[in-house]
Amino acid sequence: MTLELARTPLFNLQQQAGARMVPFAGYEMAVQFTGIIEEHTHTRTAASLFDVSHMGQTTLSGPLDLILNFLEKITPADVRTLQPGQMRYSVLLNEKGGIVDDLMINRRQHDWLLIVNAARKLIDYSVFRQHLPAELTLSPLDSYALLALQGPEASRIAAVLWPEMNDLTFMTGAVVRFNNMHVYATRSGYTGEDGYEFSMPAPLANSVAKALLEQRNTRWAGLGARDTLRLEAGLCLYGHDLNEGITPVQADLNWVIGKNRRDNPSFLGAGTIMAELTNKPAIKRAAWIVEGKAPVREEALIKTTAGEQVGIVTSGGFSPTLGKPIIMGYVQTAHLNSALLAEQRGRSQPLTRVKLPFVPHRYYKG
């Protein structure tokens, strides 16, 4: 039996714009409009609009101290220093320190907004409820849309509709109004570029999208460009670079573990995670540029020049910005600085290790 795919509120508008739709995380999503490389380049040079309404959005409300304790149990984030209007990237943990999902934590004026990955949202909500005190209320926003405007011209474009957008800096948010309804806007995104994400009731989505697309140099972009952009930015994709068997330390995400959380860690899997911080993990995520023009894909083997397998590729593709194939993957920590090869379909390609991101981030920090 074939399961029926869900559609976002922007499905028809995107179809009219020539979107090529594909199944993704239970949804029928736009993978491209004019072409992945063209959309990627336009995002890097102007601004693109992405429909990310498939993501899970849920509010959390109740007594502040209980919210802080709850979030400190399921994530390693420093949430106590978050002020209203601030947000933080973190990871949802299991008892062994593995990553159930990565998520965005937004502290708003009167509640908290959690944004999780589409393919994981039902699992995440189950984990939330497993640890949720009775006094807290978790309310999934199933009838909400989420739009991402990304690129160096995003601030100019957003300011036409909301001049106050220019007051936001990276990882901050505010309520704005459109057609007398509230939109929660954050200066954030997952492309490495400056930009915004807009959370809104579904009935607003088409009007907001049309208003943004009417502005000079704004175009639709699909999941294909979103993936190449996030890879160039060195950002993880759940189910590829992250899973329940990978810890934040192995994923080279030590920075998500708040400094004030390390002295008296109370989060799930703290024993495993703190031991890896002290003793180094057995494997670690790293990044390489691939010699030659042929892209190396996920599940390609990473080997030493002597032929020993020491790792695996988890994200790979051709970088339109660099004009070279790039990969991220996990290797045995002892071989992080070894001469390595990527082996795919019997062909070996030399690797040059680089520091992330592949392409510098251009977040606006004021």
Average pLDDT over residues 308-312: 98
- Per-residue pLDDT, 314: 98
For residue 1, pLDDT over 80 is answered with no
Q: Tell me: the pLDDT tens digits for 11-63? A: 999 999 999 999 999 999 999 999 999 999 999 999 999 999 999 999 999 99
Angle at 114 between CA 158 and CA 227, to 5 degrees: 60
Average pLDDT over residues 57-77: 98
For residue 96, pLDDT over 60 is answered with yes
Contact 202, 143 (CB under 8 A): yes
Query: What's the predicted TM-score (pTM) here?
Result: 0.97
CA distances from 293 to 158, 305, 307, 322, 350 (A): 37, 20, 22, 11, 12
- Owner of token pair 């060195």: 234
Average pLDDT over residues 341-359: 97
Contacts of 197 (CB under 8 A, 6+ apart): 52, 146, 147, 148, 149, 185, 186, 188, 189
Please report, as a single letter, which amino acid is at residue 265.
P
Return the bridge partners of 60, or none: 112, 138
| CA–CA distance, 222 with 225 (Å, rounded to integer) | 6
| CA–CA distance, 357 with 324 (Å, rounded to integer) | 14
For residue 68, pLDDT over 70 is answered with yes
* Cβ neighbour number for residue 345 with a 10 Å cutoff: 7
Average pLDDT over residues 159-186: 97
Residue 83: both structure tokens together: 């002020």
Return the bridge partners of 207, or none: none
Average pLDDT over residues 4-12: 97
Q: pLDDT confidence of 151, banded at 50, 70, 90?
A: very high
Contacts of 171 (CB under 8 A, 6+ apart): 86, 87, 88, 89, 186, 187, 188
| CA–CA distance, 362 with 333 (Å, rounded to integer) | 30
Average pLDDT over residues 105-124: 98
- Per-residue pLDDT, 3: 73
Contact 218, 49 (CB under 8 A): yes
Q: At what angle do helices 36-45 and 223-232 cross, to 10 degrees?
A: 60
Contact 72, 267 (CB under 8 A): yes
What letter does residue 266 receive in the DSSP assignment? -
- Per-residue pLDDT, 283: 98
Contacts of 262 (CB under 8 A, 6+ apart): 274, 277
Shortest CA distance to 103 belongs to which of 118, 92, 119? 92
Contact 25, 8 (CB under 8 A): no
Angle at 321 between CA 316 and CA 323, to 5 degrees: 70
Q: How many CA atoms lie within 13 A of 288 on its CB side?
A: 29
Burial readout 269-296 (b: 16 or more C-beta within 10 A, e: otherwise): bbebbbebbeeebebbbbbbbbeeeebb
Q: pLDDT confidence of 2, banded at 50, 70, 90?
A: low
